Amino acid sequence: MYIKGIVEIVLEKLLIFSAPSGSGKTTVVKHLMEVMPEKLGFSVSATTRKPRPGEVHGREYYFLSEEEFRKNIGEGAFLEHEEVYSGILYGTLWSEVKRIWSEDRLVVFDVDVLGGLNLKKEFGEKALAIFLRPPSVEILMERLTKRSTEVEHELAQRIDKAQYELSFENQYDVVVVNDKLEETFERCETLVGNFYSK
- What's this model's pTM, rounded to 2 decimal places? 0.79
| CA–CA separation, 76 and 70 (whole Å) | 10
Mean pLDDT across the chain, nearest whole number?
87
Cβ count near 144 (within 10 Å): 22
Q: In angstroms, how far is the first alpha carbon of the chain from the final one?
A: 18
Q: CB neighbours of 185 closer than 8 A, spacing ≥ 6?
A: 28, 31, 32
- Give the tens place of pLDDT for each residue, 41-85: 998 989 999 999 999 999 989 999 999 999 999 999 998 888 888
Nearest Cα to Cα of residue 29 among 126, 136, 108: 108
Give the per-residue pLDDT at 147.
64
Looking at 1.20.210.10, 3.90.1150.10, 3.40.50.300, 3.40.50.720, the CATH number of the domain 11-197 comes to 3.40.50.300
Strands (E), 68-177: 78-85, 88-93, 106-110, 127-133, 174-177
Report CA torsion sign: 198, 33, 28, 130. negative
- Give the tens place of pLDDT for each residue, 127-149: 999 999 988 877 777 777 776 55
